[in-house]
Structure formats: structure tokens, C-alpha cells
Amino acid sequence: GPILLDTYRVIADFTKTSKHEIDLHTGDLVEIVEKNQNGWWFCQGESKRGWIPASYLEPLDGPEEAEEGEPDYEGEMFVTHKAYKAEQRDEISLEVGETISVIHKLLDGWWVVRKGEQTGHFPSMFLHRAGRQEV
Amino acid sequence: TVKNPPQNPPPRPPPETRRKRV
């Protein structure tokens, strides 16, 4: 039978930054065929297809739709495999090989992580699982 | 079935739209 794809509305203009991305215009409707947890979603349009940032989309059917999991305050252990330097105030800077706790896996790919006393957003694509935290 | 996603982190949500984002 037909595959029903989730439709989203574009909430801000987006200009592509690499070959396999596509431009978005506020108010456009897009159908998503793959939701990568790194925050890049694959859009299948009538005339174009490519990766777009989930952070620029809202669900067409009810913005209250809860696709996102709840925060996990105990945290799940991950290790950074790439360094990232914070560019915004709510982000956290980490070096390669740091073990951190993931508190909230946000759909936009910018997970909330904790290291010691510090908490902030970090790109999920630079993390890999370190195994479950023991209680 | 689709090409690999970009290797750079996606942009953060535009500040004025954060409340509406997915």
C-alpha cells in the first residue's frame, strides 16, 4: 500500500551549505522519509530531495505532537569522538575522548549533555555510546 | 536508501522559532 510520510511546515528560511542539502522557505510543506538522530532529516519533495535541518521544521498535524523523548536526568554515558567548541551560550565545549552523560536526546540533533557541573547542548553526531550507566 | 547525511552539525534552531520547533 501507499507509504504515508510525515509532513512538516518550514518555520524559517534555510540556505543549503552542501550538495546534498536543499534550500527551505518559511511556510513550505515538506515530507520526511528519514529522520536521522543527528538532526539532519531527508526530505522528499515534488521536484527536489535532500537533507534539511529538523530544527527548521514543525509538525503539520499538531505542533504539540510529542516525538521527542523525555529528559533522562540520570543520563546515558557517551564518549565524544570529535571536539566541538561552543558557539552559543547554551552549548558546551568538549575535547575528543571525553565521557559525558546525555540528559536529553533532542530531535534537532543538539543533545543536552552533562559533564561534571557543566550542562549544555552538543552535536549528537560527535558522540558514540559508551555503554549503559550502572545504577 | 538515501545518501549519508551531511558530516557537519545541523544549524541550531533560529532563536525566534525555538518554541515552535520539533
B19 touches chain A (CB under 8 A): no
The tens-digit pLDDT sequence of chain A (135 residues) is 677 888 999 999 999 999 899 999 999 999 999 999 999 999 987 777 999 999 999 998 765 556 788 899 899 999 999 999 999 999 999 999 999 999 999 999 999 999 999 999 999 999 999 965 444
The C-alpha atoms of residue A73 and residue A57 are separated, in whole angstroms, by: 26
List the beta bridge partners of residue A120. A113
ipTM of the complex: 0.82
- Please tell me what DSSP assigns to residue A125: G
Nearest to A34 among B2, B7, B8 (CB): B2
Cell numbers at residue A88, please? 552559543
Which amino acid, one-letter code, is at A52? I
Residue A66 or residue B14, greater confidence: B14
Among chain B residues, the shortest Cα distance to A127 is held by: B9
The C-alpha atoms of residue B11 and residue A110 are separated, in whole angstroms, by: 9
